[in-house]
Structure formats: structure tokens, C-alpha cells
Amino acid sequence: MSAAATPVAAVAPAAVRKASPIENLRALLPYVRRYRGGTALGVATLLAGGLVGAMLPLVMGTIIDSISGEHSLIERMSALPGPLERFLLSFYRPLSGETLVFFSLTLLGIVLVKGIFSFLTRNILIGVSRDIEYDLRNDLLDHLLRMEPAFYVRNRTGELMSRCTNDLNAVRMVLGPGIMYSLNTIVIMVMAISIMVRISPQLTLYVFLPVPAVALAVRYFGKVIHDRYEKIQALLAALSARVQENLTGIRVVRAFCQEEHESRAFERQNKDYVDSNMALIAAWSLFFPALEFLIGIVFLIVLWQGSRLTLQGSFSLGALMAFYGYIAQLVWPKVALGWVTNIFQRGAASMGRLRYILSAEPEIDDRAVAARPADDIHGGIEFRHLTFRHPGAENNAGGRPVLDDINLRIPAGSTVAVVGPTGSGKSTLAALVARLWEAPPGSVLIDGRPIAEWPLHALRRAIGFVTQDTFLFSETLRENIAFGAEAASDLDVDRAAHIASIRDEVLDFPKQFETVVGERGLTLSGGQKQRAALARALIREPKILVLDDALANVDTETEERILRGLAEVTRHRTTLLISHRCSTVRHADQIVVLREGRIVESGNHEDLIGRGGYYADLYQKQLLEEELARV
Amino acid sequence: MSAHQEEEALGKLYDAQLTRRLLGYLRPYRARVTVAVALSLVSSGLTIVGPLLLKVTVDRYLVPALAGRLSSDVAMHGVGLVVLLFLAALCTRFTLDYIQTRMMQRVGQLAMYDLRRELFDRLQRLPLAFFDRNPLGRLVTRLTTDVDTLNDLFASGVVAMLGNCFILTAIIVAMLKLDWRLALAAFSVIPLIVLVTLLFRRSVREANRRIRVAIARINAFLQEHISGMTVVQLFNREKKARKQFAEANAAHMDAYKDAILAFALFYPAVEFLGVLAIAVLLWYGGMRVLSGSLTIGTIVAFIQYAQQFFRPIQDLSEKFNILQTAMASSERIFRLLDEPITIQSPEKPVPLGVPRGEIEFSHVWFAYTGGAQPAEEDWVLRDVSFRVRPGQTAAIVGHTGAGKTTLISLLLRFYDVQRGQILLDGRDIREYSLHDLRRHFGIVLQDPVLFSGTLESNVRMGTEGIDRPAVERALDEVGLGGFVRSLPDGVAATVGERGSTFSVGQRQLVSFARALAHNPRFLILDEATSSVDTKTELTIRAALDRLLTGRTAIVIAHRLSTIQHASQILVFHKGRLREQGTHQELLARRGIYHRLYQLQYKDQEIRVHATAGDAASAAVPAND
């Protein structure tokens, strides 16, 4: 079994080797560059806001200095630009009511200006992150729309969905809050520290004594939590698997009266999960209290040493107040730093997963299109020594090809039917005509030219395809049928529905052609869906009509009606009819029986009945079935 | 449409009844919750100590010393004492917070454990009809993601919300105590903050609703277009898809940009109001300091309090969001817990010791849908009556959709019949307890289910009293003995999820062994249709003979050999029992059975006869 699994696995992610986080994030640069004007402006307002905001504790300290009757903090530190300092000091007088009013208003003025800047910053920077998210999401869909079925065999829908939603969101967090908060943090730190050093280098040094301890603690907790978290995730996955399995086998569980036993087994796993959570809790519960404690210690140092310096005369009450203010400003960056690191780490990993899609290139494209402009397709199909294996299965030793040396000519305008047991390769043959899979060069020809020489768009434009498992979109019936043509009138929809024998039923629905179908609308029966899909193919007026077991869910009577209507339509079209019902195929110009990827019988209905092989047997059984249905 | 509506429902606000029910899960741990609340009360009280100590330092030591009324040394000594007090408060808070957090986190885990167990137990008892209606993936989500969402509520929500209220109260009391006029001046901005918050909430709510709808649309679009990608490509509709997607994507972006605007206004506005409060304190307080009616220390402490005041408020609104998500999850969880158990044992069940082994269907009508009065076309079984005597084997044959599998489900009471009754030893099966009834049945399903574990655990299931020799005997009897002994771990060999490491034939044989080990009085068998190689086929036939001996059996037959061995053949067609008799009788009648035989079994006859030569050689060592 490993022999079968390995090649497929090797094909899937081979294209993407593990990129470093930096590499992944660098892939975002082209997107950011598109909005470089906005980004620059946002960064500028952020810097401006930071500069202005750093004044707040200084002004508060100045007021305290004023009411305690001392010289101003501003005067002593002389860190502000000369004119600004002179301007502010011209209003400063110790123990004066006017000074109080002036600086209180200054406080409000500063916070107002800062507010305007941070309003602009948030609007611009976060707005840009949403713009880029929009671009990225469109690009993701773009790539998905170009990828061939083989890609969707390798990648599960849920997995792709998760990349387009969860991973994109994680990347957006980097572009928005990630960048904004990390810049903000840096600005605050630089500003606060430089002003604090001006006020008192000594106290600044003391205040930063516990920083290494904080950094170490954050690192330690980060690691512990990360490690334990992985174990917890694994146990949670096991728990889900357990429930999944129990519910899948619920009949056996009930029949063997194993409900109690299952409950006990679940309880054990439930307990393991809870226990591993408890281990995390022991660390987690320490994290925030410890952080608060360390922050408290910093304030304690300021109180203690600040008082000492004040008593020595090299510090003032106002300076003490300002320090309190700057430390309050710094507490947030310290917390934010851990948070931002997390955002960047997750974002980089997610960007790696997005790049898997963004760098995927389809195997099936127009690279082999012949230079001269494409003529119209008339509809002649030829399979010439066609041997086909699904990609990824080439190395599968002992695995036989899905199609083995198929030689078949379908002249334009004729009808060929393919019958055969399940797994004989019928659907693959049909899919190759629409180039959903890539056949070896020169083995499939359309109008005598290799299929790859036709532009993909023109080729598919010429084909009306009804797939085996019908897929309708959650839209109205009209939209679903009109889906087939670029510009279909109501009359066209009506006509196509009529030929596909679904028109009368639709008109019986309360909302008629405006009825919404699919997951979120009316549930149609299998037969109704197939007929809607048939109408969707017919409305294209295709040169080549491919019906892949398209009437399997339609009862025999309706089938006959549809076939009568189709006879008119298929007269001038090449028709490839795949079925395991004789009633569907008996009027075809040519019937081909496929078995294990090879053509074993071919001829018209009468020929094949006369030969007494698979087809004749099938016909016999079908007659019996019809008899049974009438009982 | 409905996906969008579901999103709408999520926006539902706090619901008192739900909250009460949720808090009920904390009841078993109320002692611990009480202690945690008490600890958080003390710890909240300690948060006001910092500013108070600052005031003491400033007023008692720094200001007098600066004014020369106190010597520096005395002042420094006093400051040292204050710092020690501060340190003590910090240590106490740290210890209390740690104990409290840890306690509540543990309680949260325990409450989730209880909830998960209750959910799982419920799932074990819900009728099968429930599982027909509900996709499996969604049920798994209830037990995992939805329950985990409640963790935040249990672990931090409850106590933290109370804690925040305590802190707010403590700060307010401290401020009023220090100086009530200054306190009132500071509080004057609170109405403005409330107003701004309300305005913000209202404008964000609308944007959030649009965001949720846009996300639901994007997800639905992706889901649909990824699954239907072939159709999109076959019909050249890539351009249209791109355009549609860009629309949904743009709606998502626009809604977010509106939300950004609200946030961008809100944060600076709140900051402005906070600084306004401080400015008022400094101006009004400063004036009073100048006039001598207030100390500088009080102003300094007030500024600290004003800054502390915002954190619990912000925290509370965050917790409010947690509460909202928890409500949405709990609603889904409780809906599952409230699902009625429609099939259960009667209050006074008739005891069932060792049954004689007679089964009778008497005028049974059954439909999967439509409740007690199904529509005419919904009937799956129509007026079915037959009897299987003790020790007999009844083979059920019929075309697809004839109602064969339904018969089995009814017999085990996976569903209850609408009309008529099913009798076991002459009594309605609904009179026995479910456990008693099912205990006597051995069942083998068409698609044999193996569970992850070992071969042994798969044969034994959870039934006590089936020891390892019994397991080995059962495996021997179905002809798997040689194979099992060839495995390095023997019966302890690991079975992967869904038994994927074993072949179809082996899985069938293991499920035979499972039935055999339980030594049931009745055997129910839905024969597998999938073809296996001839050797396995013969082993299975031999095992089947072994299994059927001495038991009352109902077999949905796909093998000619089974049919020919049956005491009677019941031919179902379109929900009715149409023919009944032995193989020869029914063939002679040239009715439905004759046609079915030609359709489904005739090939086997040819194949089996052709390979009968291998039969003996293959079957004998297997039974050895």
C-alpha cells in the first residue's frame, strides 16, 4: 500500500520547499509596494503621533513641578527644540494659577493632535492591510481558477478553503496590526527612553534592570506554552477522531450494546485531554500574574530610587510623575512585543501556505497552441493509440493504465456511445476530450489536430459537457442553465429546458425559473439535477456534446422523451454518449464497449447483439430490469 | 440564504436563561469558585495600594523634606518602609492571582470535561434518525470547537468580570475617601465615556453584521467553486467567477473599512477623555493645592487612579465579547442536549433470558420520514408479515430499494415501526429493554466497520467475558487463524482508522468473528456485495456456514450459496413481501425471484462451479 501512496505524496508539495519565515514575508513586498504612497503616509503620521504623545508625561510633570513651587522639568532637562522650550517656559511660573490653566490646556492640545495623528494612522495603515487582503484573495481565486482537476485531486477542498480564509487572515494580521503595533512600540520606546535618560540617566538604568528578567520570562513561557500546546492540539485531534469513528460505526456500537463501553473509552481520552490542559494551565496561570508582578517591581524601583534622588536634590516631584507616566507608556509595548512576535510568526507560516497556491502553475494551458489563428472547431474527434495513466500513478508498479491503446475515430456530426462496467475508463475518455486531463501528445486529436494546439478557451467553447456527478450552483435555475452561454436570453433558457425535459416541472415550482437550487435552496432530485445540467450544456449550442452517464438518475420513460428531443439536437453535432444503459445508447452510430481500459467490442446495436458478448448480456439484463420495474 | 441567517443568529445578545444553564456547570465546583472569587476580591483590594503609598511618600516624606521640615535621612527611612509595604502587597497579589487563575482554569477544564461527557453520552442514546438528519462533521464540532469556546467563559469570564467590578468599586471608594470633591470632578468625564462607547458600539454593530454576511458569502462561494471547479472551467466561466468573487470580496473590504473608521475614532476619543479627566484633576486640584486645601500627594494618587480606571472597563467590554461567542456556542450545544431520545427501553421491561429464537413481523408499515402519518409514497415497508422459526435461516432478496436493509434496522429497534409490530418469541420487541433485545443479536453489516485499536479489541468490542482465547477461537473458526498467527503481533495487531490496513475480505471475516465471539441467539447479516478473490470467497462461505449453524438468522443475501442454504427465501419488491418459499419452489414459479436470480446470482453459479476445485483445498486449512 505504501507503493501506491508514495508517488502521489511525492507529487503534491514537491514544488514548494520549506521557505524561511523571512522569505515568506518578503513575498508580501510586491503587494505592499502597490500602496507605497499610503504606507509611507501612514508611517509618517505614526511617527508624528509618537513624537507628540511623548510630550504628555513631560507636561504632567511640569504641572506638578509648578504646584510644588520648583523649577520646571523642561528647563532642567533641556531636551526639547530651543524655540519650543523657550515658548513653553515663557508661560511657566511656579505656584501660579495661569501656569496651571495654560499647561492643562496644553495637555488637552497635545492629546488632541496625537488623537488626530493616530486616527489617520489607523485609518491609513489598517486600510492598506485590507486593500492588500482584497488583492491577495482575488489573486488566490485567480490561481485556483486556472488549476486543472489534478490539482484538486491532490488538495482537499477543506484544506484549500482554510488557506483562503484562516491563513489569509493570519497574513492580514501581519500587514495591519502587526506592522502598526511594532512600529508604534519602537517609536514609544525610543522616545520614552531618550527623554527618561535626559531627566535622569541613573534612574533610567535602574528601571531597565528587570528588563532581561522580563525578556527571559516571556521567552520561557512562550516555549513552554508552545510545546504543551502542540501536545494538546494532538490530543484534541485524537478526541475528534474518536467521536468521528464512534459516530461512523454507530450501528455496530448500538447493535453490540457498546454504548457504555464507548462512553468509558471516550471518558478516558477526554480525561487525557483535560490532564494535558492542566499541565499547560500550571504555566499559563503564572504568566499574567508574573508579568504584573514585574511591572509592579519597576514602579517600586521608581518610587524608591526616585524618592532618594529627589531628596538628594537631583530630581523633582514632577520628574517622578513623568517617570511614572513613561513607564505606564512602556508597559504596553512590553506586552505588545510578545503579541506582535506571535503575529509575525504565524503570519510567516501562513504566507508559506498561501504561496503554495500563488506559485502553483497549471499543467494544462495554451503553451502548445499553433501559431496560426485557430479555425472554428467542427467536432471531429480521434483517439490515436491513446494510453493514459493518472498523473502521479506512473511509477505505480503493476498498476495498469486507465486507458490502454485506444483507437477510435468519431467523425464530426456522428454519435458514439461508450458502455462498460464501472472503472473501465469511460469517464476518463470523456474528460480527455475536454482536456481536463493531459493525454500524451498526439494521442487525442480534434479536427485532425492535436488537442493541445487548440486554445483551451476555444476548445471548451465548442463542447457541451454533462458531468457524471451533477454540480449545480446555489443560484436560480435560470442562472444555472444560462451558466452555459455567455449571453443567453430567457427564450434560450426556456428552449434548452424544454429539450432537457425539465421545463414543465420548473414551471410548476412557485418561483419557476427564479427558484434557488443547491445547498441553500430547493433540493432537486437526482434526475432533475441531471436534466438541469443537460439544459446547461445544450444552451451552449456546442459542436461536441459529451454526456457522461448524464441520464442515469432519470427514469426510463423520461429518458426516452429526452432522447427523442435530443435526436434533433444531436443530428448535426458530434456526440459522445457514456452510459451503462442500453436504452440510452442503442441508436448511436457506433457503440464501443470498454473493459479495463481497452476497447473489447465495437459496432452498432444489431452487430453487438449478434456477437453475444458484454453488450448483448447487458441488453438481456436491462430487459429483465424493465420487466421487474413493471411488476 | 440560510448560511447568512445563521450568521445573523450568532449576533444574538446575552440570554439570561442560557447563562443560568451554563453557570449550572460550575455548580459541582462551587466551593472552588467561591474561594477564587474571595481571592480575587482581596487581590482587587490590593490594586488600590500602589497610588495610596505614592501619596504617603509624597505628602509625608518628600514634600516636608524638600521644605526642610524633615531631615533627608528620616525621610529616606520612611520611604524605605513604604517600599517594603509595596513589595509585600505585590507579592501577596502575585500569589493570590496565581492561585485564583490556576483554580479557575482547572475548574473550567473540569466543567468542559463534564459537558463533553454529557454530550457524548447523549449521542450514544439518540435515535439513528437523528444521525440521518445531522451531518457527522457538525456533531464532532459540537464536542470539540464549541465546547472549547466555553473555556474562556468558565475559566476567566466569570471571576474576571466580578474581579473587574471589584476593582472599579475599590478605586471609586478610594477616590471618594481621599477627597470627594476631587473625585466628583474626575468622574465628570464618565458620562462622556459611556456616550462615546454607546455610539461606537452602535456603529460597529452594523459594520460587524455586514462583515459576517460578507465572510459567509466568501466562504460559500469558495466552497462551491472549489468543489465545482471542473464545471466552471468546462463552461469557460472563469471571468464571471472572478467578477462575482471580487464583488463579495469588495463588500467584505468595505464593511471592514467602515469598522476601521469607527475604531480609529473610538480609541483616540477615549484617550482624549482620559487625559481630559487628568487635566481637570491637575487644574482643579492644582488650584486647591495653591490655596492650601489639598496635598500634592492626593493629586498624584488621583492621576494614578484615573489611569487605572480604564483597564477594568476595557477588560469588561472584552469579556462581553467572550460572553457573546460563548452564548452562540452554548446555544448549539444545548440544542443537541435537548434533542429528544425517541427510542428507549420501556419503564417496566419484560425480562429476556435465553430466547427460544422466533422472529415475527406482523403487518409492519414503516417510513423514514413523515412522522406518524407519512405520505403514501414515503412508505418503505408496506404491510410486511412473515415468521422465522427458531434455528431457521431466512434469506431476503430483492432489487435495490426494496426495503431489505430497513428490515434489519427495525429488528434492532434503530427505528420504530409506524404500524404493525415486530415480535420476538411472541412479544413485541418494544416490551424488552433495548440492551436485552440487542444483546441477543449478532450483526454483520454490508460495509464491515472496524474501529481503530487491535484485532482483539475489534472482536471483543467492549464486552466483558470474552477473553483472549475466545477471541482467538472466533478468529480460527472464521478461517482467519492462519493469517493472524502470521502477523508479528497476532491478535494484538494494530487496526488503523476504519480498518484501512486490512483487505475487504479480511474485514468481513473479522466482523464475522466479532459476531461469533458474542455467541448470539439471532444473527443478522447484510452480505457484502463487493467482490473478493475466489479463495477469500470460499473462506467466507465456510465461515458463514459456521456462523449460521444453530441460530435464527436473517440474511440479506447476495451470495447464491447463502440463498440455497436458507430455510426460506423472502422476496421483497417495492416495500412489499411478494414471494416466499425455497430456492427451487420460487424458481419454479417463474416470478420475481426467477428474474432476480437471472439478474444477480446466475453469474455466481457459473463462477462458483468453475472454481469448485479450489474450494476444498482453500477451505480446509482455514478451518484447521
Residues A289-301 have pLDDT tens digits of 888 888 889 899 9
A415-419 and A590-595: which strand pairing? Answer: parallel
Q: Inform me whether the pLDDT recorded for A9 exceeds 50.
A: no
For cell 472496524, name the residue.
B450
Compute the nearest-CA separation of B76 from chain A (Å): 7
- A463, A520: one domain: yes
Q: Which of A112, A133, A285 sits opposite B98 (nearest CB)?
A: A285
Minimum CA–CA partner of A618 in chain B: B599
What is the reported pLDDT for A452? 82
Q: Do A246 and B123 touch (CB under 8 A)?
A: yes
Dihedral sign for Cα atoms in the order B422, B424, B426, B429? negative
What's the total number of domains in chain A? 2
Compute the nearest-CA separation of B55 from chain A (Å): 11
Q: Quote the CA–CA distance of A355 and A122 in Å, as a whole number.
A: 28
Q: Inform me whether the pLDDT recorded for A98 exceeds 60.
A: yes
Q: Which of A118, A245, A251 sits opposite B414 (nearest CB)?
A: A251
The mean pLDDT value for A456-460 works out to 83
What is the reported pLDDT for A15? 40
Compute the nearest-CA separation of A580 from chain B (Å): 15
Compute the nearest-CA separation of A160 from chain B (Å): 8
Q: Do A317 and B63 touch (CB under 8 A)?
A: yes
- A527, A584: one domain: yes
Q: What is the DSSP letter of B354?
A: S
Q: Do A536 and B235 touch (CB under 8 A)?
A: yes
**Structural domain includes residue A375:** no
Q: Do B249 and A296 touch (CB under 8 A)?
A: no
Spell out the residues 6+ positions from residue A170 whose beta carbon is closer than 8 angstroms to its own: A343, A346, A347, A349, A350
Beta bridge partners of A598: A595
Whole-Å CA distances, A180 to A121, A174, A193, B417: 8, 9, 20, 65
CA angle A373, A378, A381 (to 5 degrees): 105
What is the reported pLDDT for B6? 42
Confidence band of B251 (pLDDT split at 50, 70, 90): very high
Q: Of the candidates A432, A426, A381, A434, which has an alpha carbon nearest to the alpha carbon of residue A408?
A: A381
Q: Do A263 and B124 touch (CB under 8 A)?
A: yes
Q: Do B226 and A310 touch (CB under 8 A)?
A: no
What is the reported pLDDT for B302? 93
- A322, A449: one domain: no
Q: Quote the CA–CA distance of A609 and A603 in Å, as a whole number.
A: 10
Q: Do A289 and B98 touch (CB under 8 A)?
A: yes
- Range with lowest mean pLDDT among A484-488, B150-154, B163-167, B418-422: A484-488
Q: Of the candidates A159, A129, A132, which has an alpha carbon nearest to the alpha carbon of residue A144?
A: A159
DSSP states of A263-330 as a string? HHHHHHHHHHHHHHHHHHHHHHHHHHHHHHHHHHHHHHHHHHHHHHHHHHTSS-HHHHHHHHHHHHHH
Q: Do B93 and A300 touch (CB under 8 A)?
A: no
- Give Cα A321 distance to the centre of its chain: 50
**Structural domain includes residue A255:** no
Confidence band of B14 (pLDDT split at 50, 70, 90): low
DSSP states of A363-410 as a string? SSSSTT--SSPP------EEEEEEEE--TT-TT-TTPPPSEEEEEEEE
**Structural domain includes residue A307:** no
CA angle A18, A20, A25 (to 5 degrees): 115
SS3 B146: helix
Q: Inform me whether the pLDDT recorded for B319 exceeds 60.
A: yes
What are the structural domain ranges in chain B? 16-179+328-341, 180-293, 390-419+439-623
- Range with lowest mean pLDDT among A14-18, A610-614, B246-250, B534-538: A14-18
Q: Inform me whether the pLDDT recorded for B276 exceeds 70.
A: yes
Q: Which of A115, A282, A293 sits opposite B94 (nearest CB)?
A: A293
Q: Quote the CA–CA distance of B300 and B281 in Å, as a whole number.
A: 9
Instruction: Enter the C-alpha cell of residue B45.
Output: 483590594
- Range with lowest mean pLDDT among A114-123, A518-527, A616-625, B30-39: A518-527
Q: Do B113 and A271 touch (CB under 8 A)?
A: yes
Q: Inform me whether the pLDDT recorded for B615 exceeds 60.
A: no
**Structural domain includes residue A551:** yes
**Structural domain includes residue A570:** yes
Contact A299, A27 (CB under 8 A): no
Instruction: Enter the C-alpha cell of residue A106.
Output: 496644553
- A550, A613: one domain: yes
Q: Quote the CA–CA distance of B582 and B569 in Å, as a whole number.
A: 6
Q: For chain B, give the number of residues.
A: 624
What is the reported pLDDT for B431? 92
Instruction: Enter the C-alpha cell of residue B213.
Output: 454576511
Q: Quote the CA–CA distance of A100 and A208 in Å, as a whole number.
A: 32
Q: Inform me whether the pLDDT recorded for A394 exceeds 60.
A: no
The ipTM estimated for the assembled molecules is 0.80
Q: Quote the CA–CA distance of A552 and A530 in Å, as a whole number.
A: 8
Q: Which of A101, A137, A457 sits opposite B236 (nearest CB)?
A: A457
- A344, A403: one domain: no
What is the reported pLDDT for B618? 38
CB contacts, 8 Å: A310 with chain B = 62, 66
SS3 A511: coil
* Phi-psi domain of B441 (left: phi exceeds 0; alpha: psi -120 through 50; beta: other): beta
- A334, A392: one domain: no
Interface A-B, measured as beta-carbon pairs within 8 A, has a size of 367
Confidence band of B600 (pLDDT split at 50, 70, 90): low
Confidence band of B42 (pLDDT split at 50, 70, 90): very high
Q: For chain A, give the number of residues.
A: 631
Q: Quote the CA–CA distance of A587 and A605 in Å, as a whole number.
A: 7
CB contacts, 8 Å: B62 with chain A = 307, 310-311, 317
Contact B569, B586 (CB under 8 A): yes
Minimum CA–CA partner of A65 in chain B: B296
Q: Quote the CA–CA distance of A517 and A497 in Å, as a whole number.
A: 15
Task: Write the pLDDT tens digit of every residue in B161-174.
Answer: 888 888 889 999 99
Compute the nearest-CA separation of A259 from chain B (Å): 6
Contact B533, B613 (CB under 8 A): no
Q: Which fold has domain B390-419+439-623?
A: Rossmann fold (3.40.50)
**Structural domain includes residue A284:** no
Q: Do A130 and B260 touch (CB under 8 A)?
A: yes
What is the reported pLDDT for B566? 83
Q: Which of B105, B280, B443 sits opposite A281 (nearest CB)?
A: B105
When computed from its CA atoms, the radius of gyration of chain B, rounded to whole angstroms, is 37
Q: Quote the CA–CA distance of A359 and A351 in Å, as a whole number.
A: 12
CATH of residue A79's domain is 1.20.1560.10
Q: Quote the CA–CA distance of A420 and A550 in Å, as a whole number.
A: 15
What is the reported pLDDT for A115? 94
Whole-Å CA distances, B316 to B223, B232, B311: 37, 48, 9
What is the reported pLDDT for A465? 86
Q: Which amino acid is at A94?
A: P
Q: Of the candidates A487, A510, A506, which has an alpha carbon nearest to the alpha carbon of residue A497?
A: A506
Any idea of the CA torsion for B130, B136, B140, B145, to the nearest 10 degrees?
Answer: -100
Q: Do A247 and B123 touch (CB under 8 A)?
A: yes
The CATH H-level superfamily of B16-179+328-341 is ABC transporter type 1, transmembrane domain (1.20.1560.10)
For cell 469598522, name the residue.
B259
- A352, A407: one domain: no
- A33, A159: one domain: yes
Q: Inform me whether the pLDDT recorded for B80 exceeds 90.
A: yes
Dihedral sign for Cα atoms in the order A425, A429, A434, A439? positive
The mean pLDDT value for A115-119 works out to 95
Q: Do A631 and B592 touch (CB under 8 A)?
A: yes
The mean pLDDT value for A571-589 works out to 81
- Range with lowest mean pLDDT among A191-200, A348-357, B594-603: B594-603
Confidence band of A8 (pLDDT split at 50, 70, 90): very low
Compute the nearest-CA separation of B445 from chain A (Å): 8
What is the reported pLDDT for A399? 58
Q: What percent of chain A has pLDDT over 90?
A: 16
Residue B484 φ/ψ, nearest 5 degrees: -65, -40
Q: Inform me whether the pLDDT recorded for A184 exceeds 80.
A: yes
**Structural domain includes residue A625:** yes
- A112, A193: one domain: yes
Q: Inform me whether the pLDDT recorded for A564 exceeds 90.
A: no
Q: How many CB atoms lie within 10 A of CB A418?
A: 27
Q: Mapped to the 3 state alphabet, what secondary structure does B261-309 carry?
A: HHHHHHHHHHHHHHHHHHHHHHHHHHHHHHCCCCCHHHHHHHHHHHHHH
Q: What percent of chain B has pLDDT over 70?
A: 91
- A163, A44: one domain: yes
- A436, A501: one domain: yes
Q: Do A118 and B61 touch (CB under 8 A)?
A: no
What is the reported pLDDT for A42? 94
**Structural domain includes residue A495:** yes
Spell out the residues 6+ positions from residue A207 whose beta carbon is closer than 8 angstroms to its own: A196, A298, A301, A302, A323, A327
CATH of residue A472's domain is 3.40.50.300
Confidence band of B180 (pLDDT split at 50, 70, 90): very high
CB contacts, 8 Å: A473 with chain B = 224, 228
Task: Write the pLDDT tens digit of every residue in B227-246.
Answer: 788 888 888 888 888 888 99
Q: Do B87 and A300 touch (CB under 8 A)?
A: yes
Chain-wide mean pLDDT for chain A? Answer: 82
A484 against B380, higher pLDDT: B380
Q: Inform me whether the pLDDT recorded for A343 exceeds 70.
A: yes
To test the contact with chain A by mutation, choose from B56, B200, B236 the residue with the greatest count of A C-beta atoms within 10 A, namely B236
Domain membership of residue A168 as a residue range: 21-200+315-358
A535 against A119, higher pLDDT: A119
Q: Which of A239, A260, A473 sits opposite B224 (nearest CB)?
A: A473
Q: Which of B276, B463, B595 sits opposite A628 (nearest CB)?
A: B595
What is the reported pLDDT for A239? 85
CB contacts, 8 Å: A332 with chain B = none
Q: Inform me whether the pLDDT recorded for A18 exceeds 80.
A: no
- Range with lowest mean pLDDT among A69-83, A222-236, A330-344, B361-375: A330-344
Chain-wide mean pLDDT for chain B? Answer: 83
The mean pLDDT value for B114-123 works out to 92
Compute the nearest-CA separation of B254 from chain A (Å): 9
Spell out the residues 6+ positions from residue A506 whose beta carbon is closer than 8 angstroms to its own: A477, A497, A512, A513, A515
Contact A562, A576 (CB under 8 A): no
Confidence band of A539 (pLDDT split at 50, 70, 90): confident
Task: Write the pLDDT tens digit of every residue in B386-428.
Answer: 999 998 889 888 876 678 888 888 988 989 999 999 999 989 9
Task: Write the pLDDT tens digit of every residue in B50-62.
Answer: 899 999 999 999 9
- A346, A412: one domain: no
Instruction: Enter the C-alpha cell of residue A129.
Output: 492591510
Confidence band of B342 (pLDDT split at 50, 70, 90): confident
The mean pLDDT value for A505-528 works out to 72
